[in-house]
Chain A
């Protein structure tokens, strides 16, 4: 198991309104360490010398919670496709390489500290109808509505979005269309979501605009950055439903 050496350029910013800048570090680490373990290791080094560690979010560290996220060498979540930064391993990088690490940048994601950003705008979009309006209680038997496997699988694929925000960070317009499209496509394909389809689409899309996310101009960077491989067809789904909803269909 070989160790590798890297030079890191890491974005440091004390708080939302503070001036930020890059700070350089040298690190030696086992190539089988994950990217976040590399940052853990760096932080140990920094703290042992009495310095201030680099703040970053993470929780599951297996690509499912959407907590982690930063821009690595210019790419949201780093160079590997369909890989969240917590699943990235140092074997991906060349010995001696310089790696730049920055937070996800978007007007709607204010920086909290260093690599930590505030993504609560996503929750506020979800609030606006990202649900099926049923209360807890007795429900018809789960098999009383049949849903074809293909349709259900397609809904599932859209529902696997982890809400990480990489699509926003990757988009030159900082649009949240892939995230919103994924939510709408999931609910739109499931029969349970049908009754509220139009209202949900209008409310969520309007909230997205109100939060300061930019428009979608079909560039496709979002799909390339998405750790879950959410297909850009979700955006087409959103646009079509939005049009229909505005025309008064899907009532």
Chain B
């Protein structure tokens, strides 16, 4: 298999232009003959499908949900970065590029990251042209704010619902293409939407991606779809931790099944743990809710200085207001005088955990810190704070039952985003020809840590502005052979899918009246515990070895104790969840293995053995300046590690310091 990043020649600033100048085009007549499969309709998938439809391709788009508009991207709150530089505060393409590379702890490719920064301005123009109602100033121009550690105000937003508004923009463009196809009749390009479908396998013909196998989640039927290329836009795998900020149906299945067909999985251990989430309160909990990090612009993080005060708070004898100013430790402001509360996510998360490890936590479980708005409410006024964060404050109140205008919020880190994902080259193509991977599902632009407001940017850059060119180039140069779903490869992939599915159902039917049987949620939750403890905010060799011992045992339990409802020919959520859990039980092991092998700390991957005297992440550039691209060798074989060395020609590698 090929394993080349395919970065164009020339200076960094010209690489994307060089690519576009050299790329081959597909003629309009030929586009009409091409069918493209897009799996997932979040920001990446919806923007790609819409644009490819506009360009004249036939697109088949798939989502697990009942409408593309519900995809997980809808939940993004804080904003989207762009180098527009409207505030004139010194931003530039170079600066966003540099911040992204540095923020990712020098574990991403220069060329991809630079292209992302270059395309970021186009995204805002595009979204505004679609009618996306971004926040504006009274003068009628677009508003910006600084976000998550940036020293410039480059983040565009729509209250705390930026993801919703951007997704509705991409969704409306997508529905326009559905309309074009439906009203145009047979042979007219555009998009056909397949909702409530879950991709369960990738079909390869002579090593080239030619289609997918999906399960119809209403009828339970297994269906085949053929195309000239397959685009996976299926989001991240943060739900491997069970509790996370990700949506209930977010999963790693499409990526993992493609991996088992040969696609390399890159940097699986790079997981972002977001510092500002509502803390878990009990065993019944199904997910964790993010409080946008924009809150850290005006909110101050603190814990009591003494563990006696903390204890009193934990047991309900004191509350935040009982702790005098002098007895509070605004630890981020203290430790990082220049960045203060705006240090990157990994730094903020680790500090919160450390404080709670020292018994300074402020809720009954001892796993929470305060985020306090008192000073800024006084300084800026209630109305200003309400205008900025009103809906977030309301949301907090609904969930936690406290009013953040009056008492500080309680927050704690939670799994949020996965920087790792399927390996792709500069064209966003995996090592399997014809299989492209976009958005959070790929590994490409954020290195070991993603900056706030950069995921929306990446998903839309991939879908609107990268894939239309790189896919065309593939289709024009490869001249792929046409196949349909009658090809034997489809039969065999369908047989494999059915057999695997049946093997899960067989376990379930064996345990039908077994009192000792376990529900899928019970097993899944156990996996989550192990992942949080051993492959979480900070990791150690012992912890990771423990995880590697434990995960196969949980997997065994899945394959012997699983209890599930039995009807497969109808809507059944727990059957869906069982398939996804089976995949997480394999992926989780690879995450732990990757984390064990990476004997350094980088971004979201913090190994306690590798830290500076000041307790900051310490990279080992000589040995680990590479992308770990894992290759599947079969169910009972260990994964093989392939390395893509990262070359830095334009930036100097420095130790991150946010002091």
Task: Check if B336 is an interface residue, CB within 8 A of chain A.
Answer: no
Q: State the Cβ distance, B251 to closest chain A Cβ, in Å.
A: 11
Residue of A nearest to B218 (CB): A112
Question: A176-201: which residues lie under 8 A (CB-CB) from chain B?
Answer: 186-187, 190, 192-193
Q: Which of B67, B182, B284 contacts A40 (CB 8 A)?
A: B284
CA of A126 to CA of B70 in the docked complex: distance in angstroms? 14
CB-CB under 8 A for A148 and B131, given A142-B124, A160-B164: no
CA of A30 to CA of B168 in the docked complex: distance in angstroms? 36
Q: State the Cβ distance, B70 to closest chain A Cβ, in Å.
A: 4
Task: Check if B378 is an interface residue, CB within 8 A of chain A.
Answer: no
Q: Is the CB of B172 within 8 A of A59?
A: no
CA of A43 to CA of B577 in the docked complex: distance in angstroms? 13
Q: Is the CB of B249 within 8 A of A59?
A: yes
Task: Check if B193 is an interface residue, CB within 8 A of chain A.
Answer: yes
Q: Is the CB of B563 within 8 A of A48?
A: yes
Q: Is the CB of A58 within 8 A of B248?
A: yes
Q: Is the CB of A47 within 8 A of B519?
A: yes
Residue of B nearest to A88 (CB): B398
Q: State the Cβ distance, A87 to closest chain B Cβ, in Å.
A: 5
Task: Check if B225 is an interface residue, CB within 8 A of chain A.
Answer: no
Q: Is the CB of A29 within 8 A of B284?
A: yes
Task: Check if B650 is an interface residue, CB within 8 A of chain A.
Answer: no
Q: Is the CB of A67 within 8 A of B137?
A: no
Which residues in B have their C-beta under 8 angstroms from that of A148? Answer: 136, 138, 140
Q: State the Cβ distance, B137 to closest chain A Cβ, in Å.
A: 6
CA of A190 to CA of B517 in the docked complex: distance in angstroms? 56
Task: Check if A116 is an interface residue, CB within 8 A of chain B.
Answer: yes
Task: Check if A133 is an interface residue, CB within 8 A of chain B.
Answer: yes
Q: Is the CB of B172 within 8 A of A132?
A: yes
Q: Is the CB of A1 within 8 A of B140?
A: no
Q: State the Cβ distance, A241 to closest chain B Cβ, in Å.
A: 15
Q: Is the CB of B140 within 8 A of A59?
A: no
Q: Is the CB of B574 within 8 A of A123?
A: no
Which residues in A have their C-beta under 8 angstroms from that of B68? Answer: 123
Task: Check if A91 is an interface residue, CB within 8 A of chain B.
Answer: yes
Which residues in A have their C-beta under 8 angstroms from that of B176? Answer: 127, 131, 133
Task: Check if A7 is an interface residue, CB within 8 A of chain B.
Answer: no
Q: Is the CB of A120 within 8 A of B401?
A: no
Q: Which of B47, B127, B133, B517 contacts A186 (CB 8 A)?
A: B133
Question: A76-105: which residues lie under 8 A (CB-CB) from chain B?
Answer: 83, 87, 89, 91
CA of A118 to CA of B217 in the docked complex: distance in angstroms? 12
CB-CB under 8 A for A149 and B522, given A1-B282, A50-B512: no
Q: Is the CB of A146 within 8 A of B247?
A: no
Q: State the Cβ distance, B216 to closest chain A Cβ, in Å.
A: 12
Q: Is the CB of A89 within 8 A of B571?
A: no
Q: Is the CB of A59 within 8 A of B70?
A: yes
Task: Check if B74 is an interface residue, CB within 8 A of chain A.
Answer: yes
CB-CB under 8 A for A136 and B51, given A44-B522, A156-B165: yes
Task: Check if A63 is an interface residue, CB within 8 A of chain B.
Answer: yes
Q: State the Cβ distance, B41 to closest chain A Cβ, in Å.
A: 11
Q: Is the CB of B74 within 8 A of A143?
A: no
Q: State the Cβ distance, B525 to closest chain A Cβ, in Å.
A: 10
Q: Which of A37, A43, A62, A87 contacts B285 (CB 8 A)?
A: A37
Which residues in A have their C-beta under 8 angstroms from that of B84? Answer: 142-143
Q: Is the CB of A143 within 8 A of B141?
A: yes
Q: State the Cβ distance, B188 to closest chain A Cβ, in Å.
A: 14
CA of A148 to CA of B137 in the docked complex: distance in angstroms? 7
CA of A56 to CA of B130 in the docked complex: distance in angstroms? 33
Which residues in B have their C-beta under 8 angstroms from that of A40? Answer: 284, 286, 521
Task: Check if B592 is an interface residue, CB within 8 A of chain A.
Answer: no
CB-CB under 8 A for A60 and B75, given A41-B284, A112-B571: yes
CA of A18 to CA of B133 in the docked complex: distance in angstroms? 44
Which residues in B have their C-beta under 8 angstroms from that of A237? Answer: none
Residue of A nearest to B283 (CB): A30
Q: Is the CB of B172 within 8 A of A130?
A: yes
Residue of B nearest to A62 (CB): B289
Which residues in B have their C-beta under 8 angstroms from that of A57? Answer: 66
Task: Check if A135 is an interface residue, CB within 8 A of chain B.
Answer: yes
Q: Is the CB of B50 within 8 A of A136?
A: yes
CA of A34 to CA of B398 in the docked complex: distance in angstroms? 10
Q: Is the CB of B574 within 8 A of A43?
A: yes
Q: State the Cβ distance, A195 to closest chain B Cβ, in Å.
A: 11
Q: State the Cβ distance, B518 to closest chain A Cβ, in Å.
A: 9
Task: Check if A140 is an interface residue, CB within 8 A of chain B.
Answer: yes
Q: State the Cβ distance, B511 to closest chain A Cβ, in Å.
A: 9
Task: Check if B621 is an interface residue, CB within 8 A of chain A.
Answer: no
Q: Is the CB of B140 within 8 A of A136?
A: no
CA of A44 to CA of B284 in the docked complex: distance in angstroms? 10
Contact with A along B123-137 (1 / 0, CB 8 A): 011111111011111
Q: Is the CB of B399 within 8 A of A160?
A: no
Q: Which of B124, B158, B172, B468 contacts A126 (CB 8 A)?
A: B172
Q: Is the CB of A123 within 8 A of B67?
A: yes
Task: Check if B32 is an interface residue, CB within 8 A of chain A.
Answer: no
Q: Is the CB of B395 within 8 A of A63?
A: yes
Task: Check if B26 is an interface residue, CB within 8 A of chain A.
Answer: no
CB-CB under 8 A for A33 and B282, given A119-B67, A123-B67, A127-B178: yes
CB-CB under 8 A for A146 and B140, given A1-B281, A134-B130, A139-B126: yes
Q: Is the CB of A123 within 8 A of B138?
A: no
Residue of A nearest to B172 (CB): A131
CA of A190 to CA of B195 in the docked complex: distance in angstroms? 29
CA of A64 to CA of B65 in the docked complex: distance in angstroms? 14
Task: Check if B306 is an interface residue, CB within 8 A of chain A.
Answer: no
Q: Is the CB of B74 within 8 A of A64?
A: yes
Task: Check if A55 is an interface residue, CB within 8 A of chain B.
Answer: yes
CB-CB under 8 A for A132 and B75, given A1-B282, A65-B70, A149-B140: no
Which residues in A have their C-beta under 8 angstroms from that of B173? Answer: 131, 134, 136
CA of A111 to CA of B401 in the docked complex: distance in angstroms? 34
Contact with B along A28-42 (1 / 0, CB 8 A): 011011101110110
Q: Is the CB of B282 within 8 A of A59?
A: no
Residue of B nearest to A84 (CB): B398
Task: Check if A4 is an interface residue, CB within 8 A of chain B.
Answer: no
Q: Is the CB of A47 within 8 A of B66?
A: no
Q: Which of A53, A65, A129, A149 contacts B574 (CB 8 A)?
A: A53
Q: Is the CB of B287 within 8 A of A61?
A: yes
CA of A32 to CA of B50 in the docked complex: distance in angstroms? 42
Which residue, B218, B284, B464, B521, has most C-beta atoms of chain A within 10 A? B284
Q: Is the CB of A44 within 8 A of B521?
A: yes
Q: Is the CB of A190 within 8 A of B75?
A: no
Q: Is the CB of A36 within 8 A of B136?
A: no
CA of A105 to CA of B564 in the docked complex: distance in angstroms? 28
**Residues of chain B at the chain A interface (Cβ within 8 Å):** 47, 50-51, 54, 65-72, 74-75, 84, 86, 122, 124-131, 133-142, 158-159, 161, 164-165, 168, 171-173, 175-176, 178-179, 182, 193, 195, 218, 247-249, 281-282, 284-287, 289, 364, 395, 398-399, 401, 464-465, 468, 512-513, 517, 519, 521-522, 563-565, 567, 570-574
For this complex, 14 residue pairs linking A to B, each with C-beta atoms less than 8 Å apart, are A29-B284, A50-B513, A59-B248, A59-B249, A60-B247, A60-B248, A61-B286, A127-B176, A131-B130, A146-B140, A152-B135, A160-B164, A163-B69, A190-B133
Q: List 13 additional A-B contacts (Cβ < 8 Å) besides A1-B281, A52-B565, A160-B164.
A: A41-B284, A44-B521, A60-B248, A91-B401, A113-B571, A128-B179, A136-B54, A136-B126, A142-B84, A153-B133, A159-B168, A190-B131, A190-B133
Q: Pick the 8 closest A-B CB pairs, nearest first.
A: A146-B140, A131-B172, A156-B133, A139-B125, A142-B128, A192-B131, A136-B51, A131-B176
